[in-house]
Copies of this chain bind each other. A is one copy, B any other.
Amino acid sequence: MVNEFLVNNLFVLIAGLLVFIMTISIGFLEVGELGEDLTVSLLKTMLITGSALFFMAFVGFNTAFAPTISGLIGNPFYGGLFLGGFSTNLPGLLTDVWWSMTSAYFGTGLTVGTYFLFETAFASVTLAIVGVVTLRKMKIEAFVIYSVVYFVLIWNLPAAWIWNPSGWLFLLGMRDFAGGLVVHAAAGAAGLGILYQIWREEKKKGLLESPRAAVNLRPGWLTLSILLLWVGWFGFNPGSVLAFNNSAMVVVLTTFLAAASAFLSIMFFQYVLTKQNPGLLYAVNGVLMGLIIITPLAGFVSPGSAVILGLIGGPLFLAAERWFSRFHWFSDPVGLLPGHLVGGLFGLLMIALFTQQAFATASGNPTLPDGILFGGGYAAVQQLGIEAFGAAVVLVTVFVLSYITVWLISSAIHGITTDYNKSVLGDLPRKRDLQERI
């Protein structure tokens, strides 16, 4: 193996390991925001981790990353189920590299082991993000069944379309660096599908609004979660160069600067609005918002642009949070919608404004035009159209698939919701639970 390829594999493998940590870190985030006794949060993220590895290996890695059938879905049987099963000559396993990592495509020399771990960690954390809205409302068995469909089909389609070099949106010119859409906004759409089914069942039970999960901070777990998530993003974004080169090191800068800027920005604006110390919850949401926004374009922009995008992130989150709080038919205490959906989409569209060709080319995306703010002109406007079109297609597809899936599960097992009131009352006697989020 060429030496640079070795280093690429080592880097992306480490990146994959860091992303792997993020799934259970989302469990800590839930525990940190909603209280330590939510054992189910932690079990849920362990289930997601195990299910992702198993079913992505079974067939999901292929449906996303094998050569596609007409650009629509990866060939499920490429190389055989379970990564070749007992085969010793799958290209990229013991010798050679995965097909899309040959010089005809991305040319970074990743093997099956490396690329599988990296992308499976992505799939896993995406479902963990979706899962923050299930709270104690969704039956755990329903969620387990959902996860199987998720890792075989729902997560995989957008990846096959945008990240697979034979996908139809990729060939159309759409780019999403590390998953502003494929991960974050798509998680929002999938979550909305689940929330809608929960609400349909709650309405049937006679509820007038969806019970709200209360904030119940555990500062230790909350801080640990944001630390691990921040560290995980070191794998998430720089690793998405799929190689170790100058671009990967620039992405470290854009990622960390966006996070720091959004953090300072949200603390500043929230302090100005309330004249109070915004506290740990906004600190955590600020860091996350910065990281989410930069995700889809971390490899396309300069450090200066990352700072600007981060600074915008603070007020954007505050406004989005306020807007979503007007709806009473769902409960989103960890911020799936104002954070991941809004932040992911915003960052995606900003590709058409902030991209600088030199950065995009270095990260392996030479076809991206300069952004509108950097003299991209008509090509940039066209890119904006492509990104918006791709986002719309993906969001609608994921929402519909997610909703159909939970609807089918609900039909099969007589509802996906738990007897929520009972389980909530079991936790309510504590004083701290009474303090509401906003």
Residue numbers of A with Cβ under 8 A of B are 1, 3-4, 6-7, 9-11, 13-14, 17, 20-21, 24, 27-28, 31, 36-37, 39, 42-43, 45-47, 49-54, 57, 82-88, 93-95, 111-114, 116-117, 140, 217-224, 226-227, 231, 234, 244-253, 256-257, 259-261, 263-264, 267, 277, 279-280, 283-284, 287, 302-305, 307, 356, 358-359, 362, 374
Contact = CB atoms under 8 A, between A and B. Distances in A.
A253 B220 CA distance: 32
9 A-B pairs with the lowest CB-CB distances in the bound complex, closest first: A113-B249, A53-B260, A85-B304, A88-B358, A50-B263, A42-B223, A86-B304, A39-B219, A50-B260
Nearest to A23: B227
For A6, A37, A84, A217, the residue with the greatest tally of chain B CB atoms inside 10 Å of its CB is A6
B117 A252 contact: yes
A116 B46 contact: no
A234 B186 CA distance: 29
Contacts of A39: 217, 219, 279-280
A95 B245 CA distance: 9
Contacts of A221: 220
Contacts of A260: 49-54, 57
Contact of A264 (B50, B252, B305): B50
A95 to B, nearest CB: 6
Contacts of A248: 113
B220 A28 contact: yes
Nearest to A12: B249
Contact of A57 (B50, B82, B303): B303
A223 B27 contact: yes
Contact of A249 (B82, B88, B114, B245): B114
Nearest to A304: B85
Nearest to A54: B260
A224 B256 CA distance: 24
Nearest to A88: B358
A299 to B, nearest CB: 11
